[in-house]
Amino acid sequence: MLKIDGLRVNYGGIEAVKGITFQVPERQIVTLIGANGAGKSTTLRTIAGLVKPSAGRIRLQAEDITGMSPDRIVSKGITLVPEGRRVFPDLTVLENLKIGAYLRKDSLEDDLEWVYSLFPRLKERSWQAAGTLSGGEQQMLAVGRALMSRPKLMMMDEPSLGLAPLVVKDIFSIIKKVNEQGVTILLIEQNANMALHIADTAYVLETGRITLTGTGEELLNNEAVKKAYLG
């Protein structure tokens, strides 16, 4: 579905991504794992159009989307759940969700129902300012907000960051559920254990290069990965 070909990105004066090539097949959960500064976030931000690549191609279902503006990329069906959740704190939960659907002109009722059925907690808090939610609830809101654009591909940047282990489990089970309903997922995580357990395909990124590829299970049992990321 998504094909990345020889992608190079300069970010803050250094080459953060040094020519990576990978694919995200339709309806799969794909994960990129790697240490801090491996270039994971930069890769996602580049696909979302927030950062421009210096070389390489990004293709979505055979259409070249390299260098498009973020709003056009969102309208093509790629959405990003940014790192650290970044909900709009002074807006209500409902307003946050509606902003997720900003580029859509059709009726939102069905999708609101869908998101609320995935996250019943959000329905209860629909009139509350997003800043007053707990960390876990904010992450749910960030996912719900991204889903409101009815994406084909949802990219998630460190969804487990700063959350209690139980909440992380919840979030991952929701990711799986969303995926089962037909949304392709590209996930980056430092919590490699969790990510590899739900991933169909996984890539290991080290200082801007992909060093290992396999199914989630293969990488879970890989000695090098165990040593470096699973402890």
Partner 1 sequence: MISEKKSKRGVFLALVCVCVLLALTIVLENTLDPIKNTILFTVLKKGAVYALVACSMNLLNGFTGLFSLGQAGFMLLGAYTYAILTIPVDQKAAVYYLFGGSAVGFSLPDLFGGADSPVGLILGVVLALILGGVVAAGVAWLIGLPVLRLKSDYLAIATLGFAEIIRAVFQWEKLGPVTNGANALKNFPTFTSFNVKDASGAVVLRLSTFVAFLIAAICIAVILLLINSSYGRAFKAIREDEVAAEAMGINLAKHKRLSFCISSFFAGVGGGMFAMFANQAQAKTFTTAMTYEILLIVVIGGIGSISGSCIASFLYVAASEWWLRFLDSETQLTSIFGFQLAKPFKVPLLRNGFRMVVFSIIIMIVVLFFRRGLMGDKELPDLLRKRRTAKKKGGGDRG
Residue ranges that bind partner 1, judged by CB under 8 A: 48, 50, 69-71, 73-75, 79-80, 82, 86-91, 95, 98-100, 102-103, 126-128, 132, 145, 149
Handedness of CA 72, 26, 145, 101 (dihedral sign): positive
Least distance from C-beta 185 to partner 1, angstroms?
16
Residue type, 89: P
Comparing CB distances to partner 1, the nearer of 95 and 200 is 95
Element at 146 (helix H, strand E): helix 135-147
**How far is residue 187's CA from residue 174's CA, in Å, rounded to a whole number?**
13
Comparing CB distances to partner 1, the nearer of 56 and 70 is 70
Q: Find tokens 């959000």 and name the residue.
A: 122
Least distance from C-beta 217 to partner 1, angstroms?
31
Instruction: Provide the pairing of β-strand 201-206 with 29-33.
Output: parallel
Comparing CB distances to partner 1, the nearer of 149 and 201 is 149
Residue type, 78: I
Least distance from C-beta 69 to partner 1, angstroms?
7
Least distance from C-beta 21 to partner 1, angstroms?
24
Comparing CB distances to partner 1, the nearer of 70 and 214 is 70
**How far is residue 104's CA from residue 63's CA, in Å, rounded to a whole number?**
21
